[in-house]
Amino acid sequence: MRVRLLAAALAAGLAAPAGAEAPPPLPFDIGGPFALIDQHGTPRTEAALVGTPSLLFFGYAQCQAICTVALPRLAETVDLLTEAGVEVRPVLVTVDPVRDTPEALREAAPRVHPRLLALTGSEAALAAARKAYRVESELIGEDIEGPLYSHGSFLYLLDDRGNFLTLLPPILGPERMAKIARKYLDGRAMGQLEPVGTR
Amino acid sequence: MIGRLSAAAATMLCAASAHAAEGERIDVTGELIDTWCYFSGVMGGPEAVVGTAHHTCAMWCAAGGIPVGLLGEDGEVYMVLKLDGDDAANGGDSFLTLTNDTVEASGMHYARDGINYLVVSEVRSNLGIPNETHEDFGVIPGNAIPDAVVDDVLAEAE
């Protein structure tokens, strides 16, 4: 009971309306060029993020930790936005180049979301992408399933040019994530909010 | 007690709704917490998922990529984006060795989307884990430490 009460209280807190003023820019840049491969084996660069806003997450298909929370929330957020008439592309960039081959991602991606763009590549190419998006990842051990990676888990909301808009902690529920995303994307559609630079 | 804690927890992120135009430098003293277990309530009330009681689980969560927050003495939770010297803002296990430690930190505070973010520029002191919640709650969750390990520790203590 007390857990339900707490959850309700937190939900109320998390649902608090944000102020109208544009949020302060972060003191570092997020985003940049990359050269990866999608789940169909097609080379993809940052140009793949142009044309539709994106919700971007770094993780891996075999992850039994934060990805099991973040990826379903990413998918549900995208669906909530779609229901609201806001098209957002779900994107996963793997941190596990050994197991997340294009073939493996082709099988895994639909389980996350039918429109998921799943990106992989060489270790160096993925490291470059992580550096561009300031995401940390580290091999922390092995279990019977294979390597275990620790990795950053904030989701990034990008505009239709691939520019960083804001970050979303994976602890937020899909409703809250969608509400925040709409603040940026509805605003852009109405010309009320400029893309938020990171510096 | 739970009601007061819940109400306090619910207001933590609300307080960030008044946006500043720029980040502001602040000093925060508080505990580095596992934000998933703290906010989700899956392990019980917030008082049970801080300090020594939750330390093992918090380390697993930090290793697994759960964002670490700094629970300030003022009751605010600041999502920690990076520590001084880190290139990455979206961290992995940087905080593994610091979970549940109480630290005095300086950094830049950014209130975005109703959420407090903190870019830590300096950890001025680390007081370890003075919050000995295991005396009230034991280990949270109970299976965070395998029984065999507990038995070994108890045997060594004898």
Q: Is B64 an interface residue toward A (CB < 8 Å)?
A: yes
ipTM over 0.90: no
User: Contact at 8 Å (CB) between B58 and B51?
Assistant: no
> When comparing pLDDT for B64 and A55, which is higher?
A55
Q: Is B1 an interface residue toward A (CB < 8 Å)?
A: no
pLDDT, mean of residues B61-70: 85
Average pLDDT along chain A: 85
Q: Is A138 an interface residue toward B (CB < 8 Å)?
A: yes
Supply the DSSP string of chain B, one letter for each residue.
Answer: -HHHHHHHHHHHHHGGGS--SS-EEEEEEEEEEEHHHHHH-TTSSGGGSSGGGGHHHHHHHHHTTPPEEEEETTS-EEEEEE-TT-S-SB-SSTTGGGTT-EEEEEEEEEEETTEEEEEEEEEEEE------THHHH-SSSTTSS-HHHHHHHHHHH-
> When comparing pLDDT for A12 and B81, which is higher?
B81
Q: Considering CB atoms only, which of A24, A138, A150 is closest to B20?
A: A24
Domain membership flag for residue A16: no
pLDDT at B116 over 80: yes
Which chain B residues have a beta carbon less than 8 Å from that of A142? Answer: none
According to the model, what pLDDT value does residue B106 have?
94
Band (pLDDT 50/70/90 cuts) for residue A198 is: very low
According to the model, what pLDDT value does residue B91 have?
61
Domain membership flag for residue A149: yes
Domain ranges within chain B, ordered by starting residue: 2-157
Domain membership flag for residue A20: no
Domain membership flag for residue A8: no
pLDDT at B62 over 70: yes
pLDDT at B21 over 70: no
Q: In this complex, do B93 and A153 lie within 8 Å of one another by their Cβ atoms? A: no
Phi and psi at residue A56, to the nearest 5°? -110, 135
Band (pLDDT 50/70/90 cuts) for residue A8 is: very low
pLDDT at A152 over 50: yes
Band (pLDDT 50/70/90 cuts) for residue B88 is: low
Q: Tell me how far apart the alpha carbons of residues B56 and B67 are, in angstroms, rounded to a whole number.
A: 15
Band (pLDDT 50/70/90 cuts) for residue B154 is: low
Average pLDDT along chain B: 76
Band (pLDDT 50/70/90 cuts) for residue B51 is: confident
Structural domain for A142, as ranges:
26-189
Which chain A residues have a beta carbon less than 8 Å from that of B80? Answer: none
According to the model, what pLDDT value does residue B129 have?
84
The answer to which of A5-19, A24-38, A122-136, B109-123 has the lowest mean pLDDT is A5-19
Question: CATH code at A93?
Answer: 3.40.30.10
A54-72 tens-digit pLDDT:
999 999 998 888 899 999 9
Is the preceding omega at residue B141 within 30 degrees of 0, hence cis?
A: yes
According to the model, what pLDDT value does residue B99 have?
80
Domain membership flag for residue A90: yes
